[in-house]
Amino acid sequence: MRLHLDSKAVSEVVGALLTVVIIVTAAGLIYTISHPFISSSIDNVNYRNAIKNMAEIKEIIQRMKYGSELSTFKTIQLNGGSISNSKYFTLRVFTSTLPPGLQGNPHPNVNAFIHASHDMEIEWKVHTLSIETTGRELVFESGIFLKEYGTVNPFSVSEPDLIVTNDTLYLSIYDFHGNFSAGGSKITVNFKHDFTTIFSNITSIEIESDFCQIWKKSIEEALNALSNPPVDLVDNDCSDKLIRIEKTNGNLNLIVTRVDVS
C-alpha cells in the first residue's frame, strides 16, 4: 500500500507549527525585555507609598508632641515590605540638670554620667522607625532619610525637625519605644504618646548617626541664615558619623518625644 502525502496539507501544518514557535518566542522575548521595567515600576510605586506613609506618620507624631493627639493607629499598605523600630542612633546631651520628664523615671535607653565639672552627660539610644522596600530603607530620625542598597542618599526626604531663632535653637527628637517589627501586604500600626520632655539647660549636643552629613547640612543652612546664631557646630566633619552642637550666643533646647509603637 502506498501513502500519498498532500504537499499542500503538509505545508499548512508546518506553517501552523512555525507560527506557534514564533508567537512563543516573541512572547518570551517581550517578557524578558519588559520584566525589569515592570518590576522597577512596581518597586517605585511601593517606594512612593512608603514615602507617603512615613510622611503621614511624622505628622501624627508631631501632633503627639504638641499634645493634640494621645493615641491613634494607621493602616499601612506594605506590599511585601517591612516596618520596625529595631534601629537607633546615639544622642548625647551635656546639661546641668535632668528635665522633669526624666527625673525619678529614667528611660531604659538612657545612661547618665556625672562629670567632675558637675555637668551631666546623658547618652540616649534613640530608636527610629524604618520602612523597608526592595533596595530602599526610609528612616524617621527627626527627619525622613533614605538608604538605597545600604548607601545613604545625601538628600533627605524630609528635613530634621529644628527651628532656629535669633536667640535659641530648638531641636525635636522622636524615640519609638517597644519591640516592634511587622511585614506583609497590609498591617495596622498603633501609636501611643508616652511623654514629651524639654532639655533647656544644655551646653552641647552630640548626634552620632549614619545620616550625619544630612544633619550637618540642615543645621548649617539654618544657622547661616542668621548673622549672630545662638549655637555653633564645633565638630562637623562627620568622619566618625558624629556632629556636635554647642551653645555660644544664645540657648540650645532639645524636645524629646517618646512614642510607644505596637
Query: Tens digit of pLDDT for each residue in 121-145?
Result: 888 889 999 999 888 999 999 999 9
Domain membership flag for residue 41: no
Instruction: Say which range, 23-27, 181-185, 192-196, 243-247, has the weakest mean pLDDT.
Output: 23-27
Domain membership flag for residue 30: no
Domain membership flag for residue 93: yes
pLDDT at 148: 92
pLDDT at 39: 44
Residue 22 grid coordinates:
514564533
Residue 55 grid coordinates:
510622611
Domain membership flag for residue 9: no
Q: What is the DSSP string of 207-239?
A: EE-TTHHHHHHHHHHHHHTSSS-SEEEEE-S-T
Q: Where are the beta strands (DSSP E) in 3-135?
A: 71-77, 82-84, 88-95, 110-114, 120-127, 129-133
Domain membership flag for residue 151: yes
Contacts (Cβ under 8 Å, ≥6 apart) of 36: none
Q: Which domain holds residue 210?
A: 48-261
Q: What is the DSSP letter of 158?
A: B
Domain membership flag for residue 21: no
Domain membership flag for residue 120: yes
Residue 195 grid coordinates:
511623654
pLDDT at 37: 40
Q: How many domains does the chain have?
A: 1
Residue 262 grid coordinates:
505596637
Give 211-234 pLDDT, tens digit per residue.
999 999 999 999 999 889 999 998
Domain membership flag for residue 222: yes
